[in-house]
Amino acid sequence: RGWCGAEILLRGSGVDRRTAECCGVQGQQQLQDTPPTWESSSRLSPPETVSRVSVCTILTEAHKQRLSVALKRLFGFSTGRTFPKKGQTCVVHYVGSLTDGRKFDSSRDRDKPFRFQIGKQEVIRGWEEGVVQMSVGQRAKLTCSPDYAYGNRGHPGIIPPNATLIFDVELLGLE
């Protein structure tokens, strides 16, 4: 039995949030015995007690359950006070890659933060649902299944059809 602590958010199919703190880098990892603190919310509930888990296992389960967005917090604290709200402009740095590691876009390479407005459908659905779970100053890995990315059309010459996309996103600020 144990809990894990690098935060993973799963959206869709009735599962909103799980928390995992992995002590290793790959494979099945031992978990801490102390459960995390949960904010009170009718939408969120603590995860089931598990004996072992890995980030890969959780993401694989997300795929099996047709969950569309997984967010793993890389650094920064989440107070909930600086979550983006509909109509606000998010200022982010990001690196986008395919599951095989090939990078297809990066605001960091251009040294120019990207701006988009929440709720205006200026970005893929995975970003709309993932970035609103971040606080200003946080950096996260967003994994977007094809239905929350570019779907079966892809983006010709850049993103193949039915591609799962991985984004390293840092929420720099809100305007």
| 119 occurs within a structural domain | yes
| 142 occurs within a structural domain | yes
pLDDT tens-digit series, residues 6-60? 334 443 333 333 333 332 323 333 333 333 333 333 333 444 433 333 344 444 4
pLDDT tens-digit series, residues 113-170? 999 999 999 999 999 999 999 999 999 999 999 999 999 999 999 999 999 999 999 9
| 7 occurs within a structural domain | no
pTM value is 0.63
Catalytic residue, from 83, 116, 148, 167: name it: 167
| 38 occurs within a structural domain | no
| 57 occurs within a structural domain | no
Rg (CA), the chain: 16
> What is the span of the domain harbouring residue 99?
69-174
141 strand-pairing partners: 72, 168
| 79 occurs within a structural domain | yes
Contact 88, 173 (CB under 8 A): no
* Number of domains present in the structure of the chain: 1
Whether 168 is catalytic is: no
Q: What is the enclosing helix (H) or strand (E) of 62?
A: helix 55-64
Whether 75 is catalytic is: no
Task: Read off the CATH number of the domain in which 118 is found.
Answer: 3.10.50.40
Catalytic residue, from 83, 94, 116, 148: name it: 94
Strands (DSSP E) contained in the chain are: 6-11, 18-20, 69-75, 89-98, 103-106, 114-117, 139-144, 165-174
